[in-house]
Structure 1
Amino acid sequence: MRSIEGNGKCDLHTHTRASDGMNSPTENVLLAKDKGLSGIAITDHDTVAGVAEALEAGLEAGILVVPGIEISTSAEGKDIHILGYGLNFTDQLLLERLDQLRTTRESRNEMILAKLRGLGMSITLQEVKDGLGRPLLPDESIGRPHIADAMVRKGYADNLRDAFNRFLGEGQLAYASVPRIAPEEAMMWIRDAGGAPVLAHPGLYGDDNLVRKIMENGKPSGIEVYHSDHGPKEEMRYLEIAREYGLIPTGGSDYHGVRQGVVFHGDIGSRYVPIETVAQLKETTN
Structure 2
Amino acid sequence: MESPMLKINEATEYIAKRVSMAPEIGLILGSGLGVLADEIEAAVRIDYHEIPHFPVSTVEGHAGQLVIGRLNGKTVAAMQGRFHFYEGYTMQQVTFPVYVMKKLGIHSVVITNACGGMNAAFAPGDLMLITDHLNFTGANPLIGGNLEELGPRFPDMSEAYSREYTALAREKAEELAITIQQGVYAGITGPTYMTPAELIMLARLGADAVGMSTVPEVIAARHAGLKVLGISCVTDMAIGEQLEPLTHEQVVQVANRTRPHFISLVKAVLPGVNG
Higher helix fraction: Structure 1 or Structure 2? Answer: 1
Higher strand fraction: Structure 1 or Structure 2? Answer: 2
Superposed pair shares fold, TM > 0.5: no
